[in-house]
Amino acid sequence: MTSTEPPASDARENGPGADAEANSEELRSSRRSFLKATGFAAAGFAAGGIAGGAAGAVIGVAAGRNEDEQGALDPRYEPGFDHVVVLMYENRSFDNLLGWLYTPDTLPDGQEFDGLAMGSHSNTAPDGTVIEAHVYSGATDTIMSHPNPDPGEVYPHVNTQLFGTVDPPENADLYVGHAAQHPFNAPKAGQVADNSGFVLDYEINFRRLRGKAPTAKQLRVSMGSFSPEMLPVMSTLAKNFAVYDSWFCAVPSQTFCNRSFFHASTSHGFVSNKEGGGYDKWLDADAVPTIFNRLEEAGLSWRVYYDAAQLVSFTGVLHAPSLEKYWKTNFRTMEQYHDDAKNGNLPAYAFIEPRMTFNHNDMHPPVGKLRESDVDGELVFNGALSDVRAGDALLHYVYSAIKESGSQKGSNANNTLLLVTFDEHGGIYDHVTPPATTPPHPKAEPGEMGFTFDRLGCRVPAIAISAYTKAGTVINDEMHHAALVRTLSRLHGLKPLTARDAGANDLFNVVNLTKPRPASDWPDTHPHYTPPNPESEPKPKEGYRDRPLSSPASGLLGLLVARYGKPGDEVPDTYGEAFDTLMAHGKGLFGTTD
């Protein structure tokens, strides 16, 4: 069977004990019931650990391809790739996940790396305290959920982070939604970003979410990052293939805008998920072509893979005006991804979505909303349980499926490029100033909140895995989200979508070997054990029904309600509401398996 999550056997091997094993079986049983109720076959998912997916190789043990038994793969007719697979996570900056990947002592010869260990980087807090960039410290389970609460990510917040501006001053008091006022903290004419406002904005957003200022310890989290040892899969792949240290997201704002740009090279002029029109604005937008439409017109194959427990695809709903007619034919669950990789059937382009709702493994930080109660006099803050280890484990399984793909026909390890990246920085500190860029439509009027789309968002992690990529490669070329569209356009002779992708750099800079590295020589990856997550149960128990969703989950369900709900229906905000909404509107919309 295939795998998208650490198998249940690891829970027993890594110490939770018999009670955790019993709890795991109960959660798996609930998952089986959910999949059965929603029309999915339980086979392939029931045995797959706490969070779903089918059983596979035990963490730390690579199944691997046996070259002697299967025969070495034929090299491609020339160095390069025929199939592109993208795994896109949520809301992490480059510095947060990969800033400490190399030090001056460990950097490969001949490479340059713009990381945190190469200099001194800091922000100054509102009280004048200088907070240096640092590696998180403390209890492991706490670290793996940092930063908590989630930083601000909407356009006005990012302006504050990059320019240190709060204009007008009243924008520092964002206690109701994101009701910032004009000019939305935008920089003055000619002002250059210095990335000095991350601590300031974290303090502002902390007060918005929790109603009080953070302590010095809580504020220090805003400048923290993970060490390579904390995320062994991501750091192993970054060091053994190629890491981009100058990859910027498309828009200095949040999820919908950047995910839209990734496949359509435009966000319809929007810089927020729902401000100024609600989620309806995305569904009412013009049916502009996406790269999926370009591939379809050219007779080329493509697929979007999503998690079965989520029922619906974020990409499909976000681009509904252009993609709804393909929901049944080109959208498949992760079970199908593993089958396709194994059998050489990956399409020309495949896009993988992590789980964003139940037991999300998208790496999005926790929201941490105030609950209207207290325990022993202390206010209680609830939010979706977030653990970056779950995302690291997902990468292990996605990568391993390609590493082990040995079909002589169709897709295989020699001709498939895997790109791992993030939609946006999510308000988390990065020290590199985003550059200017080409607007998608240079003659267009300013968009939402007056933004002209002439500068990029912050750096995000980006790793490329290819048989034709030398270990220890660091690519310093300026890259941004339009690189994906540019790459597929160049590979298949497709015309550009907008001016943004027409002038973008492509991914062929990862090809720096003349002969492919045999998959048997690729590194094995060993994710950390991820503790059981009670939110993995799609139909939440009473104690978890009222836990708030992460913002991507709320956004996805908000789109679903906007498309299929009745006038006046509220957007789900809790796990209980999410389950009810998915059962009411999500069943049967998308394809599952072949």
Of the chain, the percentage scoring pLDDT greater than 90 comes to 73
SS3 assignment for 44-97 = CCCCCCCCCCCCCCCCCCCCCCCHHHHCCCCCCCCCCCCEEEEEEECCCCHHHH
* Per-residue model confidence (pLDDT) at position 358: 83
* CATH class of domain segment(s) 9-586: alpha beta
Residues 504/510/515/519 CA torsion (nearest 10 deg): -130
| pLDDT tens digits for range 116-164 | 999 999 999 999 999 999 999 999 989 999 999 899 999 999 999 999 9
- Evaluate if residue 19 carries a pLDDT over 50: no
- Evaluate if residue 246 carries a pLDDT over 70: yes
Cα distances (angstroms) measured from residue 65 to each of 1, 98, 241, 406, 409 = 16, 29, 19, 7, 16
Cα distances (angstroms) measured from residue 295 to each of 300, 412, 480, 574, 576 = 5, 20, 21, 37, 38
Question: Which pair of structure tokens corresponds to residue 297?
Answer: 């017109």
* Per-residue model confidence (pLDDT) at position 573: 86
| pLDDT tens digits for range 434-447 | 999 999 999 999 99
For residue 435, whether the previous peptide bond is cis, meaning omega lies within 30 degrees of 0, is: no
Cα(519)–Cα(401) distance, integer angstroms = 11
Contact partners, residue 207, CB within 8 Å, separation at least 6: 173, 175, 213, 214
| pLDDT tens digits for range 180-194 | 899 999 999 999 999
Question: Which pair of structure tokens corresponds to residue 404?
Answer: 């082990």
The DSSP element (H or E) to which 223 belongs, if any, is: none
Contact partners, residue 395, CB within 8 Å, separation at least 6: 87, 233, 234, 237, 420, 525, 527
* Per-residue model confidence (pLDDT) at position 54: 25
Average pLDDT, the chain: 86
Cα-Cα-Cα-Cα dihedral sign, residues 436, 437, 438, 444:
negative
* Per-residue model confidence (pLDDT) at position 276: 85
| pLDDT tens digits for range 71-110 | 588 889 899 999 999 999 999 999 999 999 999 999 999 9
Kindly indicate the confidence band of residue 369, based on its pLDDT and cuts at 50, 70 and 90.
low
| pLDDT tens digits for range 257-273 | 999 999 999 999 999 99
- Evaluate if residue 50 carries a pLDDT over 80: no
Question: Which pair of structure tokens corresponds to residue 160?
Answer: 């504050």
Kind of pairing between the strands at 134-135 and 416-422: unpaired
Question: Which pair of structure tokens corresponds to residue 564?
Answer: 């299929």
* Per-residue model confidence (pLDDT) at position 538: 61
Instruction: Report yes or no: 397 and 4 within 8 Å, Cβ to Cβ.
Output: yes
* Per-residue model confidence (pLDDT) at position 531: 76
The DSSP letter of residue 574 is B
Instruction: Report yes or no: 572 and 333 within 8 Å, Cβ to Cβ.
Output: no
Cα(359)–Cα(357) distance, integer angstroms = 6
> How many other C-beta atoms are found inside a 10 Å radius of the C-beta of residue 175?
9
- Evaluate if residue 30 carries a pLDDT over 70: no
Task: Pick the range with the lowest mean pLDDT from 5-14, 81-90, 406-415, 534-543.
Answer: 5-14
- Position of tokens 């907070």? 131
Q: Please, what's the largest Cα pairwise distance for the chain?
A: 69
* Per-residue model confidence (pLDDT) at position 20: 38
* Per-residue model confidence (pLDDT) at position 534: 63
Instruction: Report yes or no: 512 and 468 within 8 Å, Cβ to Cβ.
Output: yes
Mean pLDDT of the 497-508 span: 98
What's the helix, strand, coil split of the chain in %, to 5?
Answer: 35, 10, 55
| pLDDT tens digits for range 379-397 | 444 455 789 999 999 999 9
| pLDDT tens digits for range 552-590 | 899 999 999 999 999 989 999 888 899 999 999 999 999
* Per-residue model confidence (pLDDT) at position 190: 92
Task: Pick the range with the lowest mean pLDDT from 79-83, 366-370, 529-533.
Answer: 366-370
Kind of pairing between the strands at 473-475 and 242-244: parallel
The DSSP element (H or E) to which 33 belongs, if any, is: helix 17-37
- Evaluate if residue 288 carries a pLDDT over 90: yes
Of the chain, the percentage scoring pLDDT greater than 70 comes to 82
Cα(506)–Cα(113) distance, integer angstroms = 20
Mean pLDDT of the 164-171 span: 93
The DSSP element (H or E) to which 331 belongs, if any, is: strand 331-333
Mean pLDDT of the 169-174 span: 85
Contact partners, residue 519, CB within 8 Å, separation at least 6: 65, 73, 403, 404, 405, 406, 413, 414, 467
Using alpha carbons only, give the angle 87, 475, 256 rounded to the nearest 5 degrees: 35
- Evaluate if residue 68 carries a pLDDT over 80: no
- Evaluate if residue 69 carries a pLDDT over 70: no
